[in-house]
Amino acid sequence: MATQTLTRSLGRVDLIAMGVGTIVGAGIFVTTGVAAATKAGPAIVLSFVLAGAICALVALCYSELASMTPQSGSAYTYTRGTLGEVPAFLVGWNLLLEYAVAASAIAIGWSGLFGATLNSLFGVTLPKAISAGPSDGGVINLPAVLIVAVLVSVLVLEVKLTAVVVKTLVALTIGVLILVVAVGAPHLHPGNWSPFLPFGVHGIAAGAALAFFAYLGFDVVATSAEETRDPRRDLPWGIIGSVVIATGLYVAVSAVLTGVAPYSTLGNAAPVATALAAVGAGWIGKVILVASVIALTKGLLMVCYGPTRLVFAMARDGMVPKALCHTGSRGTPVRLSLLLGAVVAVVAGLLPIGTVAELVNIGALFAFVIVALGVLLLRRTAPDRPRPFRVPFLPAVAVCAIAGCIWLATTFEALTWLRFVIWSAAGLALYLFYGRRHATSVLEASATTPSEPAMSPTPAAPDAALPDTAALPAGGVA
């Protein structure tokens, strides 16, 4: 009989590291400067605070549903339990696209950075034939294919190994970011922060719209519910903790960048290296190149991890073929990891991503809105259901989360909305022709879902607005 269970081995620190590892990618070395130069100026610090605040509101909604339904599938699973099969399938379908396109784009970006690092450190230039796809004048983007293959091999071994790799890479990335702040802080010039609002108040909002998409990775934490030892207590910590830590890192780096150099000089592919080179720390450019490769590696690992757990949940529910939810002897979905890894490798190796990557953003925002709606709906339809974590100040938090996501979605071009509609229509057709006929009921799905471990002897109070701070390890969240 095919195994349909995952191994529970992740703790609170593992979850936070996975969330931070996905959110804090190589973009922190690029997005901060570009957003400052083109959108907000020195007020980019406030843009990251605003984007982090909207994301934190969504994270609170995720945390309540995750503590109530600690199963793989993230927003797909929550939606199925609140709004039904059709909205759930569409959420899962759009999140799958988010992950797949993002993984391919990150793999291509990793290949470019890897080539630049080889050239900078060793003077080696990779032949274009094996470092670019046909559309870019090459034959195959071999580095992109190989990095996907390596990371998929990590994913199929054991989830605990994945967590160890991620924690190591996160520690290295954070170490480099602390180095950036330490090197730049003595060279801050307050005059560079004047005018603070060169693009007006609107610039803060425009910068937030660009910055928000750096935070989308916290959804990966929710997909790991069935591999978490104590999901009801630790998932909220992982989701909220990763957003808070990532926001602090983005704010610190953007403050240093705009204080060290005029914001107008930061609109290039390496703003951190450019700014610090101007104050005599040119050596850090090589460090940042290596750090960017590390950051992209951990980000790609987590973005490859997320869709396997999402599709695992959909397959177990019968929405897609059940054979996909088979797990190997180590408790990982080997078939799914290999299949999705192959798709990502082919796209990254042969195709350009282009503007299709915008679908990552709109699909995620759609899922976030549905999750917030689900919290409001369950508070009305199942008010007595146990909630180890409760969103404080409802309905205000959920309403603000929905409004923030919709506001950000209005910044997309019409062509992006058209692609979203076409992809959603394709998903609806798949559901009607397959998922509707094979899907198990919610009760049947609950019966076949492995039960979570027993609650710890000192569970959080049902009405607690925040996780139990007494359970924090010495030294705080991380």
133-156 confidence digits (pLDDT tens): 887 788 898 999 999 999 999 888
Q: Is 449 contained in some domain?
A: no
CATH number, domain containing residue 60: 1.20.1740.10
Residues 60-78 have a mean pLDDT of: 84
CA angle 82, 94, 224 (to 5 degrees): 65
CA–CA distance from 253 to each of 18, 163, 247 (Å)? 21, 26, 10
Q: Is 336 contained in some domain?
A: yes
The pLDDT score that the predictor gives to residue 26 is: 63
DSSP sequence for 317-342: TTSS-GGGG---TTSS-HHHHHHHHH
**pTM (two decimals):** 0.79
Q: Is 52 contained in some domain?
A: yes
For the chain, the average pLDDT equals 81
Domain residues for the domain of 85 are 12-440
Residues 443-472 have a mean pLDDT of: 40
Are the C-beta atoms of residues 250 and 48 closer than 8 Å to each other?
yes
Q: How far apart are the first and last CA of the chain?
A: 40
pLDDT in tens, 212-234: 767 767 778 887 878 888 888 88
- Phi first, then psi: give them for residue 385, nearest 5 degrees: -70, 135
Q: Is 469 contained in some domain?
A: no
Give, as one character, the DSSP assignment of residue 413: -
The pLDDT score that the predictor gives to residue 438 is: 87
Per the structure, the count of domains in the chain is: 1
Tokens, residue 416: 């992006």
